Structure 1
Amino acid sequence: MVSIIAEKKGNNTFYFMRHKSGEKQLKRYLGKTIPKNIEQLKIEFLLEFYHNQWNHHIQMIYQKYQKESKTIPMSIKIQNFENFGIYFTYNTQKIEGSKLTQEDTKDLLIHGITPNKKSKIDTIETLKHYDLFVTLVNSELKKITLDTILNWHKEIFGQTKIGESGSIRTYNVGILGNDKIEFSTVPQIKPKLKKLFNLLDKYDGKITPVELACIVHYNFINIHPFGDGNGRITRLLVNYILLKYNYPLMLIQNKDRKAYFKSLERSQLEDNSIHFLKWFMKYYIKNNKKYL
């Protein structure tokens, strides 16, 4: 992590921040005293350090993906997105406890075969998630607002979470078994969502869209605006952002859910997004290594 270094020159002491990873090092002057907001400065310093480290890979992925994309007919692109949607839907559902297997999901979404002796709720939510994803891929990408996520939530859960779908929760929630992690209180939800959507609306390109998608994921989960379904909505948000900026989409696989949740939980416990950001960016780069 970030070290605070004191260097003496004559009668004066000068303070610096330093972070090392492998052979790379970044050092930043703080002043003759340590600032009161040092913890926030550390977070910003780490974000800058890792942005510089990842940026080359992300730009290479983007450029080669764009080059490849220009050679693919639109009909094939749509087909590829729909195929991706099957695996995306299977994994995002499985992460949340769905009992449908990958074969069940493919049979349901490709052939319309309802899985035998499996949860009706899992089946409905799988269908609705896939239908929504395909609709988003084939539609004009619009500005994300509160109505956007409420509509998405209603589309997926309208038949399975009666009375809650498409609505902001009216009660406080936390993580079962971990009272150290608390999500936004009810009065905080809408103001925090507004701030998050403003961040998206005013995106200036200083960070990559992949980092932007990760930051949105982290903040949306911490707000936790719904009683249930937050994970699926935030993973849709991630891919909506990547789709908007023409980057390869993100597939978080169920087999990696332990590392996914662990990085998220560590960031939540320490109130420092860098742990989740490091996991997310490394995972994205690894999943797109064919473009490197």
Structure 2
Amino acid sequence: MPINNKLEEKLDLLTKLHSEMNQYRPLSKKQVEQLDANVRIEHVWSSNAIEGSTLNRYETASILNTGMTVHGASLRDTMAAVDLNEAYDYMMDLASRKQPLTTVIIRDLNRLVMLKNTDDRSQAGAYRVIDVWPNGQEDQPYTAPTEIPFKIQELIDWSEKAINQLHPVQYAADLHQKFVSIHPFVDGNGRTARLLMNFALSEAGYPVVSIMPDKKSRNEYMEALATSRATGNLVPFEELVADYAISTLKKRINILRQNEKNIEEAKEATNLRDY
């Protein structure tokens, strides 16, 4: 499907911002580690919150950083944070090694997402055998259980071509949308989809994006997905993901720009010789 002018402008801007980001000197190892930890916590918190977790960002950080439960937090929400954290690390490791998308990767991401947070661990990574549909849309079921293996293979085949044909952010958005439209697993489909999206973004050198879970942002996200699925027009969801990627890139560039400014100021503000 051809892209419209508005989306094309956003993709062009993303390419320019990505190029600008790569022109700055890298952060120190310690700052990179801290930034990566912050991004990971935000992703785990926001992705679980979209699915109904009551943990806030601070509580999520406390669980992931200390390994201790938070007073008053449900065990289910706590385990969901631990699971998604492990799945996120797995996703980033795959992206760093430029792994092609496979059915095993998809299954393993879902398996990690659901491993401790399911009543039946055997269902983690296993395709569902019952019909499911979006809330209130019983007349629009997701892919029939018997068709799931074929649709997942179609997704893999599409991925092999699309990754080289589409803009990286457009490809990441489409991968998310196509996977969610299949909805292959009993649970954890949304979290798995957002991991797949960020797997694609990270492989292409783009920062991880996190869909915000506040009511307005969540509704916009769900509506864009629903529109894309109902009409076959992926542009609404592509534009939404592009907006998130643009915002994230601008924030990253501001950090890198400030880092360079701070380094140059530090060089001038000294009475030491040969420093």
Q: Distance in 2 between matches of 1:135 and 1:224?
A: 21
One-letter amino acid of the counterpart of residue 237, structure 1: L
**Map of 1:58 onto structure 2:** 14
- Aligned residue in 2 for 1:184: 143
Report the equivalent of 2:222.
Answer: 261
- Which amino acid is 1:171 matched to? I
Q: Aligned runs of 1:85-234 on 2, under 5 Å?
A: 85-138=40-93, 140-161=97-118, 162=120, 163-203=122-162, 205-234=164-193
Question: What secondary structure, in the 3-state scheme, does the structure 2 residue paired with 1:254 have?
Answer: coil
- Equivalent position amino acid for 1:60 in 2: K
Decide which structure has greater helix share: 2
What is residue 67 of structure 1 aligned with on the other side?
23
Counterparts of residues 7-22 of structure 1 (less than 5 Å): none
Equivalent residue number for residue 238 of structure 1: 197
Q: 1:180 to 1:275 in 2, by over 3 A?
A: farther
Q: Are the aligned partners of 2:46 and 2:213 in contact in 1 as well (CA < 8 Å)?
A: yes
1:50 deviates by 4.2
Check if 1:81 corresponds to 2:81: no
Between structures 1 and 2, the one with greater strand share: 1
TM-score w.r.t. length of structure 1:
0.78
The structure-2 alpha-carbon separation of the partners of 1:65 and 1:198, relative to structure 1 and needing over 3 Å to count, comes to farther
Cα contact 2:170–2:238 (8 A) shared by 1: yes
Partner letter of residue 218 of structure 2?
R
Unpaired runs of at least 5, structure 2: 255-275
Following superposition, the deviation at residue 107 of structure 1 comes to: 1.0
Q: Give the TM-score of the pair, scaled to structure 2.
A: 0.82
Larger Rg: 1
Closer, same or farther: CA 199–87 of 1 in aligned 2, 3 Å: same
Q: Give the RMSD, CA atoms, in angstroms.
A: 2.1
Q: State the AA in 2 paired with 1:185.
A: A
Is 1:81–1:137's contact at 8 Å kept on the other side of the alignment? no
Provide the C-alpha distance between the structure 2 equivalents of 1:129 and 1:114, rounded to a whole number of angstroms: 15
Letter in 1 for 2:237: F
More contact order relative to length (CA 8 Å, sep ≥ 6): 2
Which residue is equivalent to 2:231?
270
Q: Give unmatched runs, 5+ long, in structure 1.
A: 1-43
3-state secondary structure, aligned to 1:217: helix
Residue identity over aligned pairs, in percent, reads 23
Partner of 1:57, secondary structure, is helix
The number of residue pairs the alignment matches comes to 247
Letter of the aligned partner of 2:86 in structure 1? D
Contact 1:145 1:197 in 2 (8 A): yes
Asked if the contact 2:103–2:153 (Cα under 8 Å) also holds between the matched residues in 1, the reply is: yes
